[in-house]
Amino acid sequence: MKIKRENNIPNHIAIVMDGNGRWALNKNLNRFQGHEKGVKVVKEVTKYCSEIGVKYLTLYTFSNENWNRPANEVISLMKLFRQTLIDEINLILENDIKFKVIGDKTKLDILTRKKIDDLELKTKNNKNMQLILALSYGSRQEIISAVNNLLKKNKNKVNLDDFINSLYTKNIPDPDILIRTGFEKRISNFLLWQIAYSEIFFIDDYWPNFNKIKLENIIKEYNLRERRYGKLD
């Protein structure tokens, strides 16, 4: 059975936002300036998604592996993240966006955790769209965490719902679209369980060059694809 879509807005879009540093270096800027430009693109894409009817937007913001970057860059990124939450709170509230962070929050500093907790609490009843930031996130770690949570419950046998409800993304539908910028053709340990049937788009450009027009074109192509879910035509 084919699932045909005409001008259908995907329910959930997930994005690997890759290439901030390389974009900056190509322009003889420092890497932090690339991250600042990347934040501007996040704002544009978030606003656009909330306006066209996307219900879930998940952004790969900081991976577990990113902790291996130089300490000064990690500190700068966390400072930028906290400042962005302050600067964009009006965007989030005005567009009725619910804010959520998934990942290992125990690795985050106290100031960052407090900013996250405050914004999650302030937006918990918002309905228009959910903005999910994968921060200190790794999909393998998420799966191991789910298994450990089930073991703590003394589960002798686990069904699909048990496992899904033990993931960071419980109550969040799987992505319809996964986008990766930055010229790379890999998933990089992002939502490995959840993207089983996602339509994947690899973009040959850096994240700071991404915009709502490029996203609109991806959605148009998404609507041309046939999703069979293992079934015949």
Instruction: Give residues with Cβ within 8 angstroms of 212, minimum separation 6.
Output: 44, 45, 48
Catalytic site includes residue 66: yes
- The b-or-e profile of 124-143 (16+ CB within 10 A means b, else e) is eebeebbbbbbbbbbbebbb
- Cα 154-155-159 angle, rounded to 5 deg: 165
User: Which residue of the set 11, 20, 28, 66 is catalytic?
Assistant: 66
User: Which residue of the set 7, 8, 11, 18 is catalytic?
Assistant: 18
Would you call 6 exposed, middle or buried from its count of C-beta atoms within 10 A (0-12, 13-18, 19+)?
exposed
Catalytic positions, please? 18, 66
